Every structure is written in structure tokens, then in C-alpha cells.
Structure 1
Amino acid sequence: MDRLYANLLSELECPGCSNYMPPPIRQCKTGHSICEKCTNQLFKCPICQQNFTKARSINLESLAIKMQYPCTNSSYGCQERLTFIERNSHMKVCSYKKYSCPLKGCFFTGSKSEIKSHWDSKKLKTKTYGIKKVGRSKLKANSYFVRLVEAYNENFWFKKMTKQEKICWALQYIGDSNKALDYYFEIEVFKPDFPKKRIIYSDYCQPIEINNDDLFSKNNCLSATFDSLDNYIGNDKLLTYCFRVFKSEKTSEQIKQYINEDNSSSTCRTKSK
């Protein structure tokens, strides 16, 4: 039975990308089946070099819906077998999932536990945030900073970027993307000589799947213009701020509902805890 099942699964492998084909499954003029993604990326059928058509392989689509597939992390040890719909949901929570190092020029990918070991191997500091920590930044154009953060027995990426006369901060949860909204962080900017002169920025943690371009350009981070922070620059020409991580009292589902109802956006977003 296992051999028969494996043979059926092989029929659903795309000849273009070797991934399993989800509906809609397209065909070339000869009749070879190929996934829709490859028809958008390739000019000809990779088997016979014929043009693609709008025809669909209904029989294979029917089979594809019924089959159970190995997790894409099966080569790393995951034994789950799931339908296409279950597979996509499982990928968000799979404990064998691989994560990329966010350092520029680093191509390391590893599991959640391996990320910490990789960071330590580079002799980079890991910040443990049980209490507030003070950071200092020089407001200069086009800079990027990332630090591994430990809080509530979880790991996060704390990222800071300056670009276009603006400073941005973001916190990303390393793990199940559904748990990202369980955490939020604060940036409290203050002037050292006048500690009561301060401003607080607050936002929810973001899932690790969001790349830096979307993280810093699509309202997924905290941001402030250099001009708005000018009055907080100290005599040393540095911006001083406290960074704090909190665990939300609301569930992720409650927070998602709140965010969906709140369509307003601003540079400084302080949301319900």
C-alpha cells in the first residue's frame, strides 16, 4: 500500500519545480500536467517544449484534493502527513521548520533551537529582557542593526533600521506565527539630562515570515522621523531609548479582531494590551 501511495504521489510531482501540484493543475498542448506557478514562470513545457494551454487536469486535481502529503520538513524529521489545506496551516507551527539568519551576508538556516547556537557561534550578544534595557543610536542614514532577544523563554529578533531620515524598530517572534501577537514591545525615547522628557512608542510583535522590505515599509514596525526626535538627542549626539518586551493579556485572536476593527494608522501606534 505504501508503494502504491508513493506512486500516486509521484504522479502529482510537477515536472517544472518537483513540488506537489495543488489545484489548479494546468496542461501543455501535449497533455503533460504542470503546476500553475510554473506556467507563469516558464515559457515552455519542461518535458516536451510545447506551449501551455488553459486546459486543466481534472482527474489529477481530484486526486490531489484527496491525497495526504509529507510535510515539507520531512527531510529534517517531521513525520506528519497532511492534505494541501492542512499542510499550509501545519507549516506555520511545524517544530522542524527552518529559519534564516537575518544578518546581512549570512546564509545560515536552522531550527528554532539551532538559531540560538548559530548566534552564539558568531560570538554575538543575546539580550535577555526581563527588565528594561537602554539602547543608544546615532541618527545616521541607511543603517541596520539586529539582535537576538530572549524573553518569556522565547526568542525574538529585535531589528532597527534608519532610512530616508527615519528610524524604525521592529520585534519578530521566532516560532509559530500564530503566537506573534501574544507579545508586544515598547520603545521609550528620553533625554538623559531631562529624564522626564520622554515619548513612548508601542506595537505588537510581528511573525518571523515577514521579510525586512515588508517589515520596514508596510506599517509593520514602529517609526519616527529624525526631525520629531531632534529634541531628544543628548549632548553626546545619541538618541537614548529603553526597550521592553511584554506578554499580552489578550489572546492572539482577540488582538487580530481588534486590529481588523482599527483601520487607523499613525507613525506612533499605541494599542491595547
Structure 2
Amino acid sequence: MRVVPDTILENLTCKMCCKYLTVSPIGVHPEGGNVCGRCLYGKKSPPSSLFEYEGDLNFYTILDLIPLSLLGYASYAKSLFPCVNRFEGCSKLLPFSSIRNHEITCIYTKYKCPLCQFEGVGSQLIQHFKTGHKRYLSSDDPIFILNLDNDVCETYLYRAKNMLFLVKVQYVKDITQFEFDTLCLGSLIKTGKIRLVFTIPFGGISTFEEYVLVSDQLLISKNNSFNLTFKINDFHLSEAKKIVCNYKIICIE
């Protein structure tokens, strides 16, 4: 059995709901992009086959075929797709034809985007950040470059494999204090640590001070939050103008 790669799956999402294009029929939105069968049919009965389309679908154009980059996987019986609720802890891998029925009973939680009014499950949040808040999305170890002349309060969506975290970064200039608050949006229960490397440059690129902070062992599970707090003055570096923070969540297998 082969699992559809994330590089394919996450580049083929619905323009309306931001979910994967894993429910047929798949339409074309008049403004460009595709629309999944969830949005086309809503609560109506789905078609009985991949390429059988029924009902009044209003202004959408129905494709005779689903996108070619997805067609080979959808039509191949041994291809498996992850559930859209994978970041909430669902580890099911399903054939294309089973996804709609699975989603009816799958347990999930919706989260609010911290930067606007959007609301959705983890896989939707990733697509939403890609299109609306790309600067605040990190699928690698996030690196924050922060100016110490001003207060800072920013929130990032951080992805570590099949886990999602909201990382709120705050700096209060008056007390030279940094806070990293991390909220786990949903995952299978794991243990891990947070590793924070902060680098403070002086004068040129080749002159800097580097410090490493590592948290105690953590239980990483849904809605758990973690905090790392430190003051620049504790390191006798009050003359610094900026700080480069490399943030990583390390899972212990």
C-alpha cells in the first residue's frame, strides 16, 4: 500500500474550506482553484462513483477528471490517504472511496486562527496560514529575529511532522523579558522537550553570544501548553539590539 505524499496532498486543497481534495466530485471555482465534494454537495447525497455527477451545482464547473496529480492515487486501489483530522490525533489511512464516510464519524476539534476570524481543524489551519499568514507558518524549526528596541507579541503556527503548535512570542522591553508560550493543538500523546537557542550578535556577523535553554521533559498532548521565560539582563546582555531565536520541539520516541 502506498501513502499519498504530503507534497501532493497539501498542494491540492479546496478553495472554500481548505481541506484536502479527497472527496469527489471536484469542481473549479469561478475565481480559480478547486472545490471539493464536501462544499459542492454539502449535506446532499454524494454521487455513487468518482465520475458520476448529479444535481444543480450552481456556478461551479464540474471536472470530468479530478486533478491529474491526484488522479493516479485516487484511482489506484492500494493508495491510502491520511484523514483531514490527522493533526487532531486521527491516524487512519484510507482509500479515496472511504474518506467521506469516515469523516462523518471521525472526532475532531476546530481551532480559531490567532490572527483573524478563520476557524478549522489543523490541516485547514496549515492551508489558511499558507495563503493568509505565510510569514507566521513554520514547518521547520522556527527562527525568530526580534528587535529589542520595541515590545513584541507575535504568534506562529509550528508544524513538527503530524503535530501542530501555536507558539506565542512576547518581549517586554521595560523588563527585558522574553516569553515563549507553546500550545499543542492536538496529537497523539508523546513526550518531548523544547530546545531554544538564542544568538545575540554584536557589531558584525562573526561576533555573537549564543545560549541554549532546554526545558524539562514534557508531556505533549492536546491542549497542553508550555512556557519558557528568560530575561536578557540575566545574561548581562542588556546592550544587545536584537536576538535570533532558534526554537525546536524534540519528541522522545
User: So what's the TM-score if we normalise by structure 2?
Assistant: 0.47
Q: Which structure shows the bigger proportion of residues in helix conformation?
A: 1
**Of the two, which has the highest radius of gyration?**
1
RCO higher in structure (CA 8 A, sep ≥6): 2
